[in-house]
């Protein structure tokens, strides 16, 4: 590296929020262009409960020379997905990877590298959280309204607790699936809504912002109970696919312990004395 003087300096890269992906991209580009070592950048997120930090930091030089670094689409997607992870260290890790790729352009394709492995596994966790949010959101009906063509539109709301910063990211999925109804999904850190015309995003909320039951939930629980085959208890398989952290917001999960006891009793009935 040239410029010994730079080694002593610390820079601060400002991000507007936990999901400021464009901000990260811009700043990473500037930092690369200015040859700033990964360990010399402090990625600072506004709104994050910050630790008191009295060290002096320079803002990043706003250098707009185009970076020579080229990422293929798949690797870029993996990096951007990783940035939705709740790990506070993710912005620094992703920058370190870009930095290393200048020397090793094919680095991202090496699954045996530690940083690469961590990135892929974080991206996988985020994708899994997205998938589970698609799966485990449970809407409750909150009303109906007439739209401008005098058609009745049903209105639904859901409370969900994702692990990562994915709420805005999943909004198009829910719009494409539930176009014909109004819906609102509230999470602790963000909320999203659809009214047939526009997707909107807003601040987080509380569980009590959403009603605690729905008329159809009893039938859903009946279905859940009936489709279960008590002759085959596989709790481990169930918990790995539907981790217990999601249970508190799933109306059917109330039944699980009773169903398992019933399954064991039934199995005992079929046992013969030795």
Pick 12 or 225: Cβ nearer other proteins: 225
Instruction: Determine if 77 is a binding residue for other proteins (CB under 8 A).
Output: no
Least distance between other proteins and beta carbon 1 (Å): 24
Instruction: Determine if 121 is a binding residue for other proteins (CB under 8 A).
Output: no
Pick 180 or 203: Cβ nearer other proteins: 180
Instruction: Determine if 22 is a binding residue for other proteins (CB under 8 A).
Output: no
* Contacts of residue 96, Cβ cutoff 8 Å, sequence gap at least 6: 38, 115
Pick 58 or 201: Cβ nearer other proteins: 201
CB 196 within 8 A of CB 176: no
For CA atoms 100, 124, 244, 155, give the dihedral sign: positive
Instruction: Determine if 230 is a binding residue for other proteins (CB under 8 A).
Output: yes
Looking at the DSSP bridge assignments, the partners of residue 44 are: 14
Pick 7 or 124: Cβ nearer other proteins: 124
Q: Which 8-state DSSP code applies to residue 186?
A: E
Instruction: Determine if 106 is a binding residue for other proteins (CB under 8 A).
Output: yes
Least distance between other proteins and beta carbon 96 (Å): 18
Number of residues that bind other proteins (CB under 8 A): 61
Pair type for strands 58-59 and 41-45: unpaired
77, 218, 248, 254: which one contacts other proteins (CB under 8 A)? 218
Sheet containing strand 140-146, edge to edge, reads: 140-146, 152-159, 182-186, 190-194, 199-203
The footprint of other proteins on residues 180-209 (CB under 8 A) is 180-181, 196
The footprint of other proteins on residues 124-163 (CB under 8 A) is 131, 134-141, 154, 156, 158
5, 66, 111, 272: which one contacts other proteins (CB under 8 A)? 111
34, 37, 71, 233: which one contacts other proteins (CB under 8 A)? 233
What is the C-alpha end-to-end distance of the chain, expressed in Å? 77
Pick 72 or 222: Cβ nearer other proteins: 222
Pick 25 or 153: Cβ nearer other proteins: 153
Pick 2 or 229: Cβ nearer other proteins: 229
Least distance between other proteins and beta carbon 169 (Å): 14
Helix extents (H) in the chain: 21-33, 73-82, 90-103, 114-136, 167-177, 217-227, 235-241, 256-269
Provide the CA 25 distance to its chain's centre, in angstroms. 19
DSSP 57-88: -EEPP---SPP-----HHHHHHHHHHTTSS-T
11 phi and psi, to 5 degrees?
-120, 155
**Residues found near other proteins in the complex (CB under 8 A):** 106, 109-112, 117, 131, 134-141, 154, 156, 158, 173, 175-181, 196, 214, 216-220, 222-239, 241-242, 250, 252, 256, 259-260, 263-264, 267
């Amino acid at each position: 590296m040239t410029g010994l003087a730079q080694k002593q300096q610390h820079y601060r890269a400002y991000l507007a929020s936990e999901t400021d992906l464009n901000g990260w991209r811009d700043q990473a580009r500037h930092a690369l262009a200015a040859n700033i070592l990964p360990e010399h950048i402090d990625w600072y997120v506004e709104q994050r409960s910050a630790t008191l930090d009295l060290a002096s930091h320079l803002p990043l030089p706003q250098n707009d020379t185009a970076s020579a670094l080229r990422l293929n689409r798949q690797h870029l997607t993996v990096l951007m997905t990783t940035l939705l992870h709740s790990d506070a260290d993710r912005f620094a890790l992703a920058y370190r990877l870009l930095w290393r790729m200048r020397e090793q352009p094919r680095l991202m394709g090496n699954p045996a590298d530690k940083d690469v492995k961590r990135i892929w596994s974080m991206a996988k966790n985020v994708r899994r959280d997205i998938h589970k949010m698609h799966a485990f959101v449970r809407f409750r009906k909150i009303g109906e309204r007439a739209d401008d063509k005098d058609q009745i539109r049903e209105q639904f709301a859901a409370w969900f607790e994702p692990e990562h910063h994915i709420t805005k990211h999943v909004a198009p999925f829910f719009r494409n699936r539930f176009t014909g109804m109004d819906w609102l999904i509230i999470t602790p850190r963000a909320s999203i809504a659809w009214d047939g015309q526009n997707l909107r995003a807003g601040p987080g909320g509380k569980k009590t912002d959403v009603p605690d039951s729905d008329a159809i939930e009893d039938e859903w629980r009946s279905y859940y109970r009936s489709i279960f085959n008590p002759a085959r208890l596989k709790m481990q398989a169930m918990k790995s696919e539907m981790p217990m952290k999601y249970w508190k917001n799933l109306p059917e999960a109330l039944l699980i312990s009773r169903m398992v006891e019933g399954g064991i009793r039934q199995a005992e009935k079929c046992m013969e004395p030795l």
